[in-house]
Amino acid sequence: MNRVILRELMTISLLAWAPCIFADDAGCAPEVVWHAENIAASLKNWDDVYVAYEKYRSCDDGSVAEGFSDSIGGILASNWDSIIRLAELTKSDGSFKAFVLKHIDETLPNEMLHRIKENADNRCPIRHIDLCRQIANSANH
């Protein structure tokens, strides 16, 4: 292969990887993505989701985002009684509420989305009705 073509290919390759290679500590370097992927899909309660959100929200894309969706969907479908804790966290941090609602998405199985909507429609504490409506709307894809 001629040197000019090789140099151009290397430059293009470097430019494509530059955002990952030169990411700052708050960004999403490859080793951070690896940790985020492993953690995002294994969260079991809202406090853990919130800690992971604060630490890895800059990595919220691709497989990391799918992991967050799996955890959030699982909690809303199977641990609905924890909605009060979610309401507390989202009341003090509106961007966390947007994050949670964004992850009630099409990557979740239809059965899970249906369970989330049923919980939001039928098991919502009165004082959290607005949050439940937003959850039900997100599950209505």
pTM of the model: 0.80
Distances (CA, A) of 34 to 37, 59, 108: 5, 10, 22
Instruction: With respect to residue 28, please indicate whether it lies within any of the assigned structural domains.
Output: yes
Q: Which domain holds residue 87?
A: 23-139
Q: What is the DSSP letter of 1?
A: -
Which residues lie below 8 Å from residue 132, measured CB to CB, with a gap of 6+? 83, 120, 121, 124
Instruction: With respect to residue 5, please indicate whether it lies within any of the assigned structural domains.
Output: no
Instruction: With respect to residue 3, please indicate whether it lies within any of the assigned structural domains.
Output: no
Mean pLDDT is highest, among 23-27, 29-33, 114-118, for 114-118
Instruction: With respect to residue 15, please indicate whether it lies within any of the assigned structural domains.
Output: no
Instruction: With respect to residue 7, please indicate whether it lies within any of the assigned structural domains.
Output: no
- The pLDDT tens digits for 37-58 are 999 999 999 999 999 999 999 9
**Number of domain units in the chain:** 1
